[in-house]
Amino acid sequence: MSPTRVTREHNPLRDPRDKRLPNIAGPCALVLFGVTGDLSRKKVMPAIYDLANRGLLPPGFSLVGFARRDWADQDFGQIVHDAVREHARTPFRESTWQALAEGFRFVPGNFDDDEAFDLLATTVEELEHERGTGGNVGFYLSIPPGFFGQVCRQLDRSGLAKAEDGQWRRVVIEKPFGHDLASARELNAIVEGVFPADSVFRIDHYLGKETVQNLLALRFANELFEPVWNAHHIDHVQITMAEDIGVAGRASYYDGIGAARDVIQNHLLQLLALTAMEEPVAFTAQHLRAEKEKVLASVRLMDDLSTSSARGQYAPGWQGSDKVKGFLEEDGMKPGSRTETYAALKVEVDTRRWAGVPFYLRTGKRLAKRVTEIAVVFKKAPHLPFNDTETEELGQNAIVIRVQPDEGVTLRFGSKVPGAQMEVRDVTMDFAYGSSFTETSPEAYERLILDVLLGAPSMFPRTQEVELSWQILDPVEEHWAKDGAPQPYPSGSWGPASADEMMALDGREWRMP
């Protein structure tokens, strides 16, 4: 796709002065809070093993678990072992495992336990001398946001958050980054009251996916695309994140949050920013973030949110051949919940490049299939020297960036059908990572955890981005709070009728991925 050399380990968003391929983390340790949770078990622990298996962690790398469990170091090691065996992307190698396991430590305790955090501080100091971590420590808060403040204050009290000269201390937090603008500001104040802003890494795993990063290469490394990436040629943009699963097992977490807060505020607005941003001066964190923030500051909601937004809630239906429950029937769900499981929104970006081009965002659970994509749909040719019959099956050109599950890029354009008559029909040209490269893509958490250890913050939203995103979404949430219950839609469908009606008002329709 690009005339420049493409390698798996090269991240074009890192400092271009750094010529190491691959980038290997220096001496360090990672403290993992929330080791018993699904995220740690399914994503974080396997990603750490995969990084070690690829030779991207230093020999003395150490992993410290902190949880309310009466475990010894070897018990924690068994938890990591089981998670790696079940979820790691790369093959299990005994030599890799043994080297990694030598650096495992476990500290039992509660978040309000001063003695436990003092023991954690002692453990970190011991690792500096025993394992050569250099006193460099990352703190991964794989815990509910309600505990961020308590843990940060304990890290501050115990001296763990303070880096000596030549050392670093960083904190990693998972979404949601607040519940609205006010709570996001409060959360940011708490975390950044303990850690400097450039030491706070907010994980959005979508930004670690190969295709999301390839979007920037697609745009800025190819003269083929960038000249037409504007309102003169583009009709509209659709950004979709569809899931075919429900909220089983997460009902208590999901109720009161909903699809818009869970996905649009972070994932989809970040994808919008990367799609619409201007070319940065350089691919450094400072310049990349600045361009994304310009886009988010330029996003404008439509005047009438009743016709430019839609929300729904999945009802019983069929997911493939399986009959599934509705949202209100899920275990642990409050009767009569008005939390939406589907959200769609129309916005515009008030810049010269995008003047008049609508961006349609949609996300939902229990939809027809699992897919995340960015579809850039072009205007029709201003003049077609064909009659209607010859082009009746011709749609609009499109560039579709597939983020998951089948990462790649598809171009849709018109081509003549073989035969004696002139008939033009849509065809596609496809690029897939799986078939174009011999090495498989790293998981998003591999890339992002490595970037934390390297101190490469390009793909991590900073405070301004988070707050701008909430400024966009808060008015929508306030409108919905006054607008009654979300519209039911059958499980296995593509969402509520109101979302289709929203598109129909503009003379458009949703893509069927």
Looking at the DSSP assignment, which residues form a beta bridge with residue 192?
none
**Catalytic status, residue 479:** no
DSSP state of 381: P
Whether omega for the bond prior to residue 22 falls within 30 degrees of 0, making it cis, is yes
Looking at the DSSP assignment, which residues form a beta bridge with residue 234?
378
Residue 457, both tokens: 């913050």
Please provide the DSSP assignment of 170-197 as one string.
EEEEESP--SSHHHHHHHHHHHHTTS-G
Amino acid identity, position 124: V
Catalytic residue among 87, 129, 267, 479: 267
The number of residues making up the chain comes to 513
CA dihedral (439, 445, 447, 453) positive or negative: negative
- The pairing of strands 104-108 and 299-301 is unpaired
Contacts of 54 (CB under 8 A, 6+ apart): 22, 90, 442, 446
Gap between the Cα atoms of 194 and 225, Å rounded: 44
Gap between the Cα atoms of 63 and 103, Å rounded: 6
| Residue 442 near residue 214 (C-beta atoms within 8 A) | no
Determine if residue 244 is left, alpha or beta; phi over 0 gives left, psi from -120 to 50 gives alpha, anything else beta.
alpha
Looking at the DSSP assignment, which residues form a beta bridge with residue 310?
344
| Residue 316 near residue 328 (C-beta atoms within 8 A) | no
| Residue 349 near residue 297 (C-beta atoms within 8 A) | no
Listed residue (48, 24, 25) closest to 35, CA to CA: 48
Which residues does the annotation mark as catalytic?
267
